Amino acid sequence: MPFRVSAVLSPAEPVPPAPVALVVDVIRATTTAAYLLGAGARELWLTGSVEAARALAARQGALLAGERGGLPPEGFDLGNSPREARPERVRGRAVVMTTTNGTRAALRAAGVVPEVALAALANAGAAVRWAMEREGDVVLVAAGREGRVALDDAYVLGALVAGLRARVPGIELDDGARLAEALFLAHPDARSALAASAAARALEPVGLAADVEVCARTDALAVLPVLAGREDGALRFAPVYPKGV
Amino acid sequence: MPFRVSAVLSPAEPVPPAPVALVVDVIRATTTAAYLLGAGARELWLTGSVEAARALAARQGALLAGERGGLPPEGFDLGNSPREARPERVRGRAVVMTTTNGTRAALRAAGVVPEVALAALANAGAAVRWAMEREGDVVLVAAGREGRVALDDAYVLGALVAGLRARVPGIELDDGARLAEALFLAHPDARSALAASAAARALEPVGLAADVEVCARTDALAVLPVLAGREDGALRFAPVYPKGV
C-alpha cells in the first residue's frame, strides 16, 4: 500500500523517483489510450516523434495514432480522439501512438519510475485500485500544456488523490497533491472543470470539442494501460483490469 | 486596466513577458517584505546571495535581513520573520534582504517584467488595487519551494485572482489562475490553508511556527513593496500605498 502521494503538476518540474507513477493527459492522450485498449487493441506503443512512430508501426504492422496541433499527421490511421477508438478498427491490433504532451510525460515518468500506468477520468477508479495494490509511494504526473500547469490534468490528479485518500488511511500528501485535491473537490462537475481548460478550448477550432465530453466521463472503462516493455526509446503498454472496489 | 491574468505556479516554469507582475512568497519573504516597509523601513533591497547582501548592506549602511534554511545567516540583523519587523528596529532604515525562494522569484520576474511588486495575504488588497491601476496584463508569480509548486503561494495567487476578478469585469484567466482561484475559494480559512503547506511545516522544527499565523492575516497592511530601482543584480523596492477600495 502506498503511504505518500506526490503530484507533479508542472511539466517543467522533474519527476521525483518513486516506485509507482500514474501519468495523466486527460485531454486527450491518456483518455484515448484507455479507450484504445478498452476497444480491444492488443497493446499500445508510445513514441516521442512522428518519425519514430512511423518506423515502429511499419516494423510491427501496427496502426498509427496521434496528433500534432490536435490533428493526425499525414498517413496516420487514427487521430488522438477517444471517439475513434472503435472495436472494428482496433480489436486485436497493436497501436503506435505519438502526441504532444502526454507522450512526453509518459517518457519523463518512465525515465525514473519502474511501474507506470496511463490514467484519465475514464479509468480513474481502475488507476486508483491498481496503485493501491502496488508497494510503495505513488507519484502522479500531469502532462500539462506548452510547458505549463494545465487545469484539466490538475483536476484529474485531484480525482486520483481523492480516490486514494478515500481508500488508504493515513496517506500523506505533498503540496501538489493537496492543491490538486482542492481543485477536484471544488468542481463537482467534471465536464465544466475540463471545459474551462486551455486544452479543451484549443479543440474547438479544429472541430473536436465533442471529445471533451468523452474525456469527462468518469469510470467509463475498467482498463488501465500499464507499462509492459521498452524498446528503442518507445514504451509498450498492455491492458490491465485491476480488481477490487 | 488589466484584461488577462496569468499565474505561474511552478518556479520551474519561465515567467511570461507582461507589463505587470505580483510576486508571492507568502511563507515568508513577501510577507516579511511588506511588514518591513509597513514598520517604516525606507527601502528594501533583494539580493540573490548572502555575499551580495553583506556587500550591499555595508555600502548602504543598511540592515541585513533574511534566511538560509529558515534561519538568519551569521551577522544578520534580522531573520525572515514578519514578527521581527518592528518600528524601533527598522524605521527610516534601508534593509537588504536575501531569502531562498522569494528572492529568486522576484529576480525571475524582474528579468522580464518592468513593473514588479511583492504581494502576500498581508497586503493582498493593496496589491490588487495597485495592479488594477496599471496598464496591461498581470502575471502572478509564485515562489514555490525547492523547485516545486507550493500550496501556500498558490493559495495567495488565488486570493489575488479572486480580488482582481471581483473588480475587473470580463477579465481573462489562464489555467494556472483558474487553478489558484479554485484553491482559494475551496479554503475559507487562510490559516488552515497555509498551515497545510510544506513551507509552514518546515517552520516547526526551527521554532518559527507562530510566523504562519502572521502570514495568514489578510489585509493587515496597506503598503506594497514596488520595484523602484536595480543595481548590480539587486532589486530596490520602495513603499507604495495604493488608493481605492
Band the pLDDT of A127: cuts 50, 70, 90: very high
Query: Which of A148, A151, A174 faces B178 most closely, judged by CB atoms?
Result: A151
- pLDDT value, residue B245: 62
pLDDT of residue A1: 67
Decide which of B120 and B245 is more confident: B120
Angle at A33 between CA A28 and CA A37, to 5 degrees: 150
Tell me, what's the pLDDT at B188? 86
Q: Give the pLDDT of residue B64.
A: 98
In which band, very low, low, confident or very high, does the pLDDT at B77 lie, cut at 50, 70 and 90?
Answer: very high
Q: Is the pTM of this model over 0.90?
A: yes
Q: What are A205-238's pLDDT values in tens digits?
A: 999 999 999 999 999 999 999 999 998 889 999 9
Distance between B45 CA and the closest CA of chain A, angstroms: 29
Grid cell digits, residue A101:
504532451
C-alpha–C-alpha distance, residues A239 and A45, integer Å: 12
> Chain A contacts of B187, Cβ < 8 Å?
182
**For residue B2, pLDDT beyond 80:** no
**Distance to chain A for B100, nearest Cα, Å:** 18
**Per-residue confidence band for A17, with pLDDT thresholds at 50, 70 and 90:** very high
* Residue contact A12–B10, C-beta within 8 A: yes
| Segment A102-115 mean pLDDT | 97
By CA distance, what is B146's nearest residue in A? A13
Within 152-171 of A, beta carbons closer than 8 Å to B belong to 152, 154
Say yes or no for a CB contact (<8 Å) between A178 and B196.
yes
Residues B37-59: tens digit of each pLDDT: 999 999 999 999 999 999 999 99
- Could you report the per-residue pLDDT of B193-242, keeping only the tens digit for each? 999 999 999 999 999 999 999 999 999 999 999 999 998 889 999 999 99
Sign of CA dihedral B84, B85, B91, B95: positive
Using CB atoms, pick whichever of B9, B175, B198 lies closest to residue A198: B175
Q: What is the pLDDT of residue A70?
A: 86
CA pair distance B2, B168, nearest whole angstrom:
8
The answer to whether B145 contacts chain A (CB < 8 Å) is yes
Beta-carbon separation of B147 and A179 below 8 A? no
Substitution target in A101, A148, A181 with the highest count of B β-carbons within 10 Å is: A148
Give how far A147 is from chain B: nearest CA, Å: 7
**Could you give the CA distance from residue B82 to residue B223 in angstroms, rounded to a whole number?**
14
pLDDT score recorded for residue B200: 97
Q: Is A102 on the interface with B (CB under 8 A)?
A: no
> Is residue A244 very low, low, confident or very high in pLDDT (cuts 50, 70, 90)?
confident
Which stretches within chain A are classed as H helix? 29-38, 50-60, 87-90, 102-112, 124-133, 151-167, 175-186, 190-195, 198-203, 210-216
Nearest-by-Cβ selection for A10 from B12, B145, B174:
B12
Distance (Å, whole) CA B148 – CA A211: 31
Closest-approach residue (CA) in chain A for B151? A175
* C-alpha B196 chain-centroid distance: 19
Choose the closest CB to A154 out of B179, B186, B187. Answer: B179
Q: For residue A145, which residues of chain B lie inside 8 Å, CB to CB?
A: 175
In this predicted structure, the answer to whether residue A185 has a pLDDT above a threshold of 70 is yes
DSSP type of residue A52: H
Q: Across the strands, what pairs with A225?
A: A239
Nearest CB partner across the interface for A149, out of B10, B186, B196: B10
The answer to whether residue B176 scores a pLDDT higher than 80 is yes
Give CA–CA dist A143/B170, Å, rounded: 29
From the list A134, A150, A147, A139, the residue with the least C-alpha distance to A215 is: A150
Beta partners for residue A96, in sequence order: A45, A64
Q: Provide the mean pLDDT of chain B.
A: 96
**Which pLDDT value is given to residue B126?**
98
* Residue among A168, A175, A77 nearest A129 (CA): A168
> Which set of grid coordinates corresponds to residue B96?
537588504
**Which residues sit opposite B23 in a β-bridge?**
B118, B141
Interface confidence, given as ipTM, is 0.92
The model's pLDDT over B86-113, given as tens digits with 9 standing for 90+, comes to 999 999 999 999 999 999 999 999 999 9
Q: What is the grid cell recorded at A74?
A: 499525414
Contacts of B149 in chain A (CB under 8 A): 9-10, 13, 149, 175-176, 179
